[in-house]
Amino acid sequence: MESKEHAVKVFSGTEKEARDLRSKLEKNSIPSQIRDEMENKEPEGLRGVPPANVNLFVNNSDIRKADPLIKDFLTGIGR
């Protein structure tokens, strides 16, 4: 997802879930980008914190196309 277009967060979860959803979107020609929210955190501040969440973003222009795929994915993982 190299576009300078506005990116919209469509998912937040584990890295595996985000990779799985990204794969599903890419199979439907929807580019996406995963961003790790814990990437820049200090290690000493991580004690007792659950596994890091990552966010998945798609271009604003792809939201309508991505929405049914995201809903299907969320249903499949029980959310």
Pick the CATH number of 7-76 from 3.30.70.1530, 2.120.10.10, 3.30.1600.10, 1.20.120.420: 3.30.70.1530
Helix (H) or strand (E) holding 28: none
| Residues 32 and 57: beta-carbon distance below 8 Å | yes
Q: Is 34 exposed, middle or buried (0-12, 13-18, 19+ CB in 10 A)?
A: middle
Residues with Cβ within 8 Å of 61's Cβ and at least 6 positions away in sequence, in order, are 5
Tokens matching residue 40: 């820049």
pLDDT of the residue at 51:
60
- The full set of domain ranges for the chain reads 7-76
Task: Please give the Cα distance from 74 to 57 (Å, whole number).
Answer: 15
pLDDT tens, N- to C-terminus, the chain (79 residues): 555 679 999 999 999 999 999 999 999 999 999 998 665 555 555 555 556 689 999 999 999 999 999 999 999 988 8
